Amino acid sequence: MRFTFLLPLLLAPSTLAADLWIYNACGSNPLGAIPIYTVGATTRFEGMSLWEEWTHLPLHHDAVTGGVSLKFGDFEAGQPHLELNYNVDDAAGRVFYTLENVNGALFDGRLVELRVPGCPGVSWLKGSGEGVGTLSCEGGASLVLSFCGTDYWPRRGVGRIHRRRPFGG
C-alpha cells in the first residue's frame, strides 16, 4: 500500500493541525483514478487519488476566501463531481465542513463516507444523499473521506505515515 502526500502551495499559518485522509476503493474505470483540485483564492490541481491508495492533505485556512473547496472529478468540464468544502477557523478553534454533489453524483451507486472521529460525519450508501448542511468539529480534526469502500481507516501496522507541516507551520 502506498501513501501519497499533497501539500497546497498557498497556506496561511494555522494553529489547528487539521488534516484530510482520502481512500479510493474505486477499482473499476472510469473511477480508478480521481483528480483532486483545491479551489480557494486560486485553483490548483493536487494530483490523482489512485485506487487502493491513501492520500493525505493538510487542511489550511485560505486568508483570501476564508474557505477551501476540494473538488473530486473533472469539475472544469462541468461533469459531476464531489465537493468537500471546509474552513479552518483558528479563532473558533473549529473546522467547519460540508460534503455535496455538483452536476450529479460522481459516485452514483457507490458508497461515499466522510468520517470524523468524535464528530458528525456523512454516509451515502448510493453515492448521494440529502444535503447535510455545515458540520463542525473541534480543532485538530482528522477527516477521513472514502469512495466505493466499506471500512477503510488508517490502521497501525499499515505502513509508516509521515505528516508534513505546512509552510511557515
* Residues 58-99 pLDDT 10s: 888 888 998 999 999 888 888 999 999 999 998 899 999 999
- State the pTM of this model: 0.76
88 to 15, 74, 95: CA distances (angstroms): 9, 25, 5
What separation, in Å, do the N-terminal and C-terminal C-alpha atoms of the chain show?
28
Instruction: Read off the pLDDT of each residue in 108-128 and give the average, rounded to a whole number.
Output: 91
CB atoms closer than 10 angstroms to residue 77: 8
**Mean pLDDT score of the chain, rounded to an integer?**
77
Domains of the chain, each with CATH number or no CATH:
3-147 (2.60.110.10)
pLDDT at 28: 63
